[in-house]
Chain A
Amino acid sequence: MTDPIIQLTGVSKKYGDFTAVDNLNLSVAKGEIFGLLGPNGAGKSTSILMMLGLTEPSAGEVMLGGINATTNPIEVKKKVGYLPEDVGFYTDRTGLENLVFTARLNGIKTDEARAKAKSLMERVGLSDEMNKKTGKYSKGMRQRLGLADVLIKNPEVIILDEPTSGIDPKGVQDFLNLIVELRNEHRISVLFSSHNLHQVQQVCDRVGIFVDGKLLAEGNMDALSKKLFTHGMYLIELGIDRQSVPEETVADAAWLSSVLKPLKGVQNIRQQNEVFLIECDSDLSPAIAKTVVANKLGLNFLNRKEYGLDAIYNRYFEGGLNND
C-alpha cells in the first residue's frame, strides 16, 4: 500500500501482566473505510487510544499521516477526529454551543465556527435540534452530533469507536449511510471499530478481525470469509434407514465417515439421536445422497443448512478456532 494514513508497526500494550494489544500491524489507506471487527475487550479501544496518543504503547510505533502519535499527539489530533463510544456533551449547553466550543479549541474563530457548526448540524440532520440542550438529545441524536463534532475540524482521518452501539436499527442505518456519504464527499479515511459484523460488512472496504489483542486476518469481506470461515459453511443433516444398515455394523459417526470417505470436503461428522450432522465446506448434499444410495443404504432424511457469516462469526468468536 502506498503512503498509508494510519500505520501501526509492531504495537503492543501491556497492563501489568495483561497484554491488551499484542504486536499489532495495521495500515489504512487514504479514503478507505477500514473496519476493526472484534468482540468486546479485544483491545480495539486500546489500539484507538494509542493512535490518538491518549495512552502510550509498550512497544512499537504508531504513525498517523506521517506523524508519530506517541511523541507528537497534538499534531496528530489536528488531523484526526475521534468519536468515542457513547460520546458525552455538556448537557446544559445546546448542540450548537457544544460544536462551537470544539471548533474554538481547534483554533477556528467564533464567527466561522458558528457558520460551520450550523451547516454541519444540517448535514447530520439535526437542524431542528440546533438550539436544544444536549441533555435532551436522544442517544441517536447524540451520536449524530458526535459525528458533526468530529467533522468540524476538517479531519483527514476519523476514528469511530463502536459508534452505533445503543442506537435503534433505523438510526444505525442512517448513521452508516452518513459515514459512507461523508467519506465520498470529503475523501476522508475512516477507521470503524465495531463488534457488529453486518454493519462492518455494509460500510467497510477492508476489515481486520481483532481477537484477544491480535489481528487475526485482514482483507476485504469476501477474501476474509474464505480465509477464516473454512469450517462448517454448510451443515447437512442426514437420516439413514436403520433397516438398511448391515447387521454387524454399528451405525455411528465413525462408520459414516468411512462410508463418505470418497467425498472431498467433508469436515466433521457428528451424530445427534438418529440424525447425522455433516459439516462441509461446499454444498455436498447431492453427492452425499448419491454415495448413500450407492452403498445400498436407505435414505430417509436429508436436509441442508447454510450458515451465514453471522452465525459463523458468532461461533468463531465464542469458541475461537477450536477446529484447527
Chain B
Amino acid sequence: MIRTTHRSANAFWVLVNKEIADIIRSWKFIIMLALVVLTCMGSLYAALSDFSEVVKAGKSDDAFFFLKLFTHSDGTLPSFTVFVSFLGPLLGISMGFDSINQEQSRGTLSRILAQPVFRDYVLNAKFTAALVVLSILFAVLGLLVLGFGLIFIGIPPTAEEFLRIVIFSMVTTLYVAFWLNLAMLFSVKFSQAATSALAGISIWLFFTIFYPIVVNLIAKGISPERFINESHVVYFQRIIQNIMRLNPGQLFNDATTSLLMPSVRSLGPLTMEQMSGAIPGPLPLGQSLLLVWPQVTALIAGTVTFFAIAYTLFMRREVRSR
C-alpha cells in the first residue's frame, strides 16, 4: 500500500517536472518574462535616478528606503508595483490559456490519461508547476530590486523591510495565480486555445479599463447632494470602494499599498476624529498584515473558486484522442 502511494506521488512530480520544463522552454513565457524584467528594470532605474529627492523629504516613511524602490515613480515611468499589477494578469493568462486544450489538440492528453495516473494529477501538476515558476520569478525580481538598491544606496535593508518585500512577492504570486487559474478554467472550457486566450484577455481588459469607468458612472448616479452630514459621505465612499474591490486588481493594489507603505493606516476613509491623537508613525508589520488580510483572503477565495470549477469540468469530461 505504501508502495503504491509512493509510486503515484512520484508520477505527480514527473508531471510537474515536465510542466516546468514546458513553461521554461515556451516562447510565450520567454517573451512575457522579458517584458516583465525589462519594465521592472526600467521602473527601478527611474526610481533610483530620482532617489535623492525622495529621501530628503521628512516623512514618516523615511525609515523605509527600500520599500520606496517599489512604489516610487519620478513621473516618467510608472512604479514597480503598478507595472506588476498591470503585467501580472497578462503573465498568468499567457501561462494558463492553452494548458489543457493544447494537450487535447496535440493528442497527448489521452496518452497521459492512458497511463496509471489520476486524472486530477494533470490539472494539479499544471497549476503546481506554474506556481513554482511564478514564485521563483517574483522572488528573484524582489531580490534583484533589493540587490540594485543595495549597490546604489549603500544601506542594507532592515529585517522588517526584507519581510515586507518577501510578503509582497508572495501576494504578487497569489495575484498572478488568480489570473492563471481563470485562464486554466477557460482552457478546460474552450477547446480552441485562441478562444480561451481572448476570453482571458477580455476579462483582464474589462477590469483594467472599463470597470473603473463603470464604477465612476455608478458613483455619479448615486452621489449624495452637496450638503449632507459626514457619516453619509463616509457611507457613500465605502460603497464605492467596495464596488471597486470586486476588481481583483484593486484588491492587489490595496494589498501592496499597505504592505509597501507602512504609513498607510486604513484602506477606507478616515475621519479627523479617528486621526486625532494618532501618533504619525509607520504601522508595524503585523498591523499592516491585518490591514491586507481581507484582500488576500478574497484573492485566495477567487483562485480556489476558479480552480474548483476547472477541476469539476475536467474530471467529468470524456477524453477522446483528438
Contact = CB atoms under 8 A, between A and B. Distances in A.
Do A and B bind?
yes
Interface of A: 45, 49, 52, 54-55, 74-75, 77-78, 80-82, 84-92, 101-102, 104-107, 149, 153, 161
Given A90-B106, A105-B11, 7 more contacts: A49-B320, A77-B116, A84-B321, A92-B25, A101-B14, A105-B115, A149-B111
Contact of A54 (B14, B15, B107, B110): B110
A88 B113 contact: no
B233 interface: no
27 contacts: A45-B320, A49-B319, A49-B320, A52-B113, A54-B318, A80-B114, A82-B110, A82-B111, A86-B321, A87-B111, A88-B106, A88-B109, A88-B110, A88-B111, A89-B111, A92-B25, A101-B18, A102-B115, A104-B10, A105-B14, A105-B15, A105-B117, A106-B116, A107-B7, A107-B10, A107-B116, A153-B115
A118 to B, nearest CB: 19
Contacts, number: 84
Contacts of B115: 77, 102, 105-106, 153
Nearest to A107: B7
Nearest to A88: B107
Provide the main secondary structure of the chain B interface. Answer: helix
B322 interface: yes
A86 B105 CA distance: 11
B319 A107 contact: no
Highest count of chain B CB atoms <10 Å: which of A45, A54, A55, A102? A54
Contacts of A82: 110-111, 114
Interface in B108-147: 108-118
Nearest to A84: B321
A81 B116 CA distance: 10
Contacts of A78: 116
A84 B118 contact: no
A287 B15 CA distance: 71
A191 to B, nearest CB: 13
A324 B277 CA distance: 101
Given A45-B320, A107-B11, A161-B321, A54 B113 contact: yes
Contacts of A104: 10-11, 14
A75 B116 CA distance: 7
A245 to B, nearest CB: 61
A86 B14 contact: no
B117 A87 contact: no
A88 B45 CA distance: 47
Contacts of B10: 104, 107
